[in-house]
């Protein structure tokens, strides 16, 4: 079975995020970049399937700048076999839909039975690439997957998908794109020998011309006109007194001031 | 003829979910501001009665896309049916609620239409001609971006639930009803729904809840969450949890509020034994009112709380429940 995992190199969630002074984007200088947390579930699931037996190859792929090789190597250290880096300055100027076009062009040149990716990237929070990629490849997609079981013949999967207050159980023919959600598995911490080995792994790098893509094909359809900080919450007050007084005051405030009760 | 502003409705148990009415209200406002028509688009089966009732919230047109194969939501056939209709009718904009269904459908539809999509928007403004500016949180709400779709059409967006208001229905509204019966080849769809399992055990789901009581590391173990559940019952609230509580195995992943959990927009969020890590705040800082209960006066949560109680949650939570019951009677 050939599994392709799409990943993204993103600032870690500890980062304090500030807009650039001119509002044209976020200040990314000095931020620590890591493998997108939701993509960790995708990589882990692919590696688990590989470890379950059968002849499975896991290829991890990303659209990203030079530094994105760090996240590709994290995925390899977790157990991915091959890595493809779609690296071209022009790729960085597009949006989520454009990224899906680029990935589709690359993935079409690879054998694939299953495509996994995180449900969203924790930087832009777009949550678009997975389903858009499936549409471009003409295959089914299921988003926000919390459980995955492959049928013996590798042609179908039973998936659990998260809805509001419910779980939907679906059967899906393969190949398909599944976007992964927390709860699908527990991503492993790569062992040191794997990390060392991943450092030496050769990564295949492709640019727009290698993919035969003209910039028009993946031009962004959305444009960001401004990035700003959200309005800060007004500081509130600390209620003083013994427990009985404090809770009575809280209830009074919720009723009379906040008008919520 | 100026392109219409569409809102795609989402049905649950035959009724239009509230976020769909939020999107329709917004479509109405945008249509009024630009001299266009607003449309409600429903996909499924036997939609007329529900559609006409919902249209009272602002639809000039009601598209009913009906076929047996579309009765239960599945991504591909719904995206295809909507894509075909949009290609034919050429709306100016298509709005969907950013519910799990909307978030699943919109990117597939946008790819199909080769158009742009702004997801999880918290505001939509328009100029006189109908070029929209979408405001959306990024980095889990640590920043906001304003986005436009200058050329591609329709302009697509999903709207974050519980942010946009629902207008008053006008029962006298008579929308023009357009019936569409698409071709859906039964065998052509790759996904089949086997069953839907309710997981929220009778409690309202976090992203739909107006009141949330949430617990963190301070709860110390799973059993202590019973205290929060009792407080929640008094308020008719949902129960959330921080990542620490979920990773410790005390609560389910579905209960997690935060950057790698759910983003919630309740009227009231009561954070118990939660320190207020940056990733947790990302999930709940747009709650209208935040109450924090924590032993540590330096806990970052107190910087965002409207009302802070420095104290032992094992004393404060039961006392708060009693005080609420007293106030009710």
Domain with B257 in it: what CATH number? 3.40.50.1220
Q: How many residues appear in chain A?
A: 261
With contact defined as beta carbons under 8 Å apart, do A180 and A38 qualify? yes
For residue B324, list chain A residues with Cβ-Cβ distance below 8 A: 251, 261
Return the closest-CA partner of residue B62 out of B73, B52, B74, B75. Answer: B52
Note whether residue A45 is domain-resident: yes
Residue B177 shares a structural domain with residue B225: no
| CATH at B70 | 3.40.50.620
Q: How far off is chain B from A67, nearest CA to CA, in Å?
A: 19
pLDDT digits (tens, 9 = 90+) for A94-120: 999 999 999 999 999 999 999 999 999
Interface test mutation site (partner B, options A18, A115, A135, max chain B beta carbons within 10 A): A135
B13 has a pLDDT exceeding 90 = no
Residue B181 shares a structural domain with residue B63: yes
Interface test mutation site (partner A, options B82, B107, B136, B252, max chain A beta carbons within 10 A): B107
Nearest to A165 among B145, B200, B303 (CB): B200
Residue B93 shares a structural domain with residue B153: yes
pLDDT digits (tens, 9 = 90+) for B71-89: 989 999 999 999 999 999 9
For B51, the token pair is 């559609």
Last residue of a domain, one of B156, B188, B220: B188
For residue B115, list chain A residues with Cβ-Cβ distance below 8 A: 97, 221
| CATH at A182 | 3.40.50.620
Return the closest-CA partner of residue B39 out of B67, B25, B60, B14. Answer: B60
Task: For CA atoms B80, B81, B87, B93, give the dihedral sign.
Answer: negative
pLDDT score of B2: 87
Note whether residue A258 is domain-resident: no
For residue A142, list chain B residues with Cβ-Cβ distance below 8 A: 75, 191
For residue A163, list chain B residues with Cβ-Cβ distance below 8 A: 100-101, 196
Last residue of a domain, one of B158, B188, B218: B188
Q: How are beta strands A82-86 and A204-206 bridged, if at all?
A: parallel
Note whether residue B193 is domain-resident: no
Alpha helix segments (H runs only) across A6-121:
37-51, 69-78, 96-107
Note whether residue B155 is domain-resident: yes
Interface test mutation site (partner A, options B99, B111, B127, max chain A beta carbons within 10 A): B111
- A170 vs B297: CB contact, 8 Å cut-off? no
For residue B196, list chain A residues with Cβ-Cβ distance below 8 A: 163, 166-169
Note whether residue B133 is domain-resident: yes
Kindly provide the residue ranges of all beta strands, DSSP E only, lying in chain A, ordered along the sequence: 2-7, 9-11, 33-35, 57-63, 82-86, 114-118, 141-150, 156-163, 166-173, 177-180, 204-206, 223-228, 237-239
The range of the structural domain enclosing residue B291 comes to: 206-328
- Which residues on adjacent β-strands are paired with residue B195? A169
Mean pLDDT score, B225-230: 97
Residue B29 shares a structural domain with residue B178: yes
Residue B260 shares a structural domain with residue B318: yes
- A226 vs B193: CB contact, 8 Å cut-off? no
Note whether residue A226 is domain-resident: no
pLDDT digits (tens, 9 = 90+) for B229-247: 999 999 999 999 999 999 9
Return the closest-CA partner of residue B178 out of B19, B317, B40. Answer: B40
Note whether residue A253 is domain-resident: no
- Rounded to 5°, the CA angle B84-B87-B93 comes to 115
pLDDT score of A257: 92
- A158 vs B195: CB contact, 8 Å cut-off? no
Note whether residue B196 is domain-resident: no
Stronger pLDDT, A235 or B234, i.e. the higher one: B234
- A170 vs B193: CB contact, 8 Å cut-off? yes
For residue A162, list chain B residues with Cβ-Cβ distance below 8 A: 100, 254
- A126 vs B119: CB contact, 8 Å cut-off? yes
pLDDT score of B12: 82
Which residue is it, tokens 């328009």?
Answer: B126
For residue B308, list chain A residues with Cβ-Cβ distance below 8 A: 236-239
ipTM exceeds 0.90: yes
Residue B125 shares a structural domain with residue B238: no
Return the closest-CA partner of residue B24 out of B13, B16, B14. Answer: B16
- B149 vs A18: CB contact, 8 Å cut-off? no
Give dist(CA B281, CA A219) in Å, integer. 35
Note whether residue B103 is domain-resident: yes
- Percent share of chain B, pLDDT over 90: 85
B25 Cβ contact partners less than 8 Å away, ≥ 6 residues apart:
B57, B58, B164, B165, B166, B167
Total domain count, chain B: 2
- A233 vs B308: CB contact, 8 Å cut-off? no
Mean pLDDT of chain A, nearest integer: 96
pTM for the complete prediction? 0.93
B212 has a pLDDT exceeding 70 = yes
- Which residues on adjacent β-strands are paired with residue B42? B64
Alpha helix segments (H runs only) across chain B:
18-34, 48-55, 75-89, 100-112, 225-235, 243-247, 278-284, 301-304, 313-328
pLDDT score of B199: 79
Residue B24 shares a structural domain with residue B102: yes
Nearest to B199 among A166, A170, A251 (CB): A166
Q: How far off is chain A from B61, nearest CA to CA, in Å?
A: 28
A42 has a pLDDT exceeding 90 = yes
Q: How far off is chain A from B237, nearest CA to CA, in Å?
A: 12
pLDDT score of B204: 86
The range of the structural domain enclosing residue A117 comes to: 2-218
Note whether residue B270 is domain-resident: yes
Residue B21 shares a structural domain with residue B167: yes
Mean pLDDT score, A170-197: 96
Residue B57 shares a structural domain with residue B170: yes
Residue B299 shares a structural domain with residue B233: yes
Give dist(CA B151, CA A15) in Å, integer. 34
- Percent share of chain A, pLDDT over 70: 100
- B306 vs A139: CB contact, 8 Å cut-off? no
- B110 vs A132: CB contact, 8 Å cut-off? yes
- A129 vs B107: CB contact, 8 Å cut-off? yes
Task: Give B149-167 as a DSSP string.
Answer: --SSSSEEEEE-TTTSPP-
Note whether residue B280 is domain-resident: yes
Task: For CA atoms A154, A156, A162, A165, give the dihedral sign.
Answer: negative
pLDDT digits (tens, 9 = 90+) for B93-137: 999 999 999 999 999 999 999 999 999 999 999 999 899 999 999
Residue B240 shares a structural domain with residue B123: no
Note whether residue A232 is domain-resident: no
Q: How far off is chain A from B174, nearest CA to CA, in Å?
A: 32
Q: How far off is chain B from A202, nearest CA to CA, in Å?
A: 31
- A247 vs B316: CB contact, 8 Å cut-off? yes
Return the closest-CA partner of residue B162 out of B51, B23, B282. Answer: B23
Mean pLDDT score, A174-183: 96
What pLDDT band is residue B200 in, cutting at 50, 70 and 90?
A: low
Residue of A nearest to B294 (CA): A238
With contact defined as beta carbons under 8 Å apart, do B251 and B238 qualify? no
For residue B105, list chain A residues with Cβ-Cβ distance below 8 A: 131
Residue B161 shares a structural domain with residue B237: no
- B199 vs A144: CB contact, 8 Å cut-off? no
Nearest to A125 among B138, B211, B326 (CB): B138
Total domain count, chain A: 1
Note whether residue A20 is domain-resident: yes
């Amino acid at each position: 079975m050939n599994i392709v995992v799409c990943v993204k190199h993103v600032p870690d969630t500890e980062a304090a995020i500030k807009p650039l002074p001119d509002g044209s984007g976020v200040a990314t200088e000095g931020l620590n970049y890591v493998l997108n947390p939701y993509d960790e579930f995708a990589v882990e699931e692919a590696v688990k399937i590989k470890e379950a037996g059968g002849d499975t190859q896991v290829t991890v792929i990303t659209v990203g700048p030079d530094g994105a090789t760090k996240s590709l190597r994290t995925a390899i250290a977790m157990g991915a076999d091959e890595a493809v880096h779609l690296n071209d300055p022009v790729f960085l100027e597009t949006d989520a839909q454009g990224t899906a076009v680029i990935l589709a062009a690359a993935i079409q040149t690879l054998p694939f039975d299953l495509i996994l990716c995180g449900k969203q990237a924790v930087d832009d929070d777009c949550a678009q690439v997975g389903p858009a990629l499936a549409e471009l490849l003409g295959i089914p997609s299921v988003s926000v997957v919390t459980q995955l079981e492959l049928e013996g013949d590798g042609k179908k999967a039973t998936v659990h998908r998260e809805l509001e207050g419910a779980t939907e159980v679906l059967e899906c023919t393969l190949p398909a794109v599944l976007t992964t959600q927390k709860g699908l598995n527990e991503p492993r911490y790569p062992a040191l020998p794997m990390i060392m080995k991943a450092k030496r792994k050769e990564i295949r790098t492709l640019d727009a011309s290698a993919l035969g893509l003209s910039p028009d094909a993946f031009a962004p359809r959305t444009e960001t006109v401004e990035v700003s900080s959200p309005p800060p919450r007004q500081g509130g007050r600390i209620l003083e007194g013994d427990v009985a007084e404090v809770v009575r005051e809280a209830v009074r405030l919720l009723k009379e001031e906040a008008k919520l009760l | 003829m100026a392109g219409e502003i569409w809102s795609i409705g989402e049905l649950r148990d035959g009724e239009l979910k509230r976020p769909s009415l939020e999107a329709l209200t917004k479509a109405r406002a945008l249509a009024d501001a630009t001299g266009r028509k607003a449309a409600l688009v429903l996909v499924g089966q036997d939609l007329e009665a529900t559609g006409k009732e919902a249209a009272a919230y602002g639809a000039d047109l009601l598209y009913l896309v009906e076929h047996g194969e579309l009765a239960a939501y599945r991504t591909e056939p719904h995206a295809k049916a909507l894509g075909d209709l949009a290609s034919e009718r050429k709306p100016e904009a298509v709005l969907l609620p950013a519910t799990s269904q909307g978030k699943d459908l919109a990117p597939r539809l946008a790819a199909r239409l080769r158009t742009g999509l702004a997801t999880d928007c918290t505001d939509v403004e328009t100029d006189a001609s109908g070029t929209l500016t979408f405001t959306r949180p990024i980095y889990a709400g640590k920043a906001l971006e304003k986005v436009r779709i200058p050329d591609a059409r329709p302009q697509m967006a999903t709207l974050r639930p519980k942010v946009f208001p629902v207008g008053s229905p006008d029962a006298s509204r008579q929308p023009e009803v357009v019936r569409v019966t698409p071709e859906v080849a039964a065998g052509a769809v790759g996904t089949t729904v086997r069953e839907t399992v309710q997981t929220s055990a009778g409690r309202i789901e976090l992203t739909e809840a107006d009141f949330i009581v949430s617990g963190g590391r301070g709860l110390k173990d799973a059993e202590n969450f019973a205290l929060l559940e009792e407080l929640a019952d008094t308020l008719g609230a949902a129960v959330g949890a921080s990542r620490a509580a979920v990773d410790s195995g005390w609560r389910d992943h579905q209960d997690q509020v935060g950057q790698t959990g759910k983003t919630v927009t309740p009227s009231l969020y009561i954070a118990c034994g939660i320190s207020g890590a940056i990733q947790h705040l990302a999930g709940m800082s747009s709650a209208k009112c935040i109450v924090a209960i924590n032993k540590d006066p330096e806990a970052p949560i107190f910087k965002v709380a409207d009302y802070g109680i420095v104290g032992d949650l094992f004393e404060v939570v039961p006392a708060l429940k009693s005080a609420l019951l007293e106030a009710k009677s």
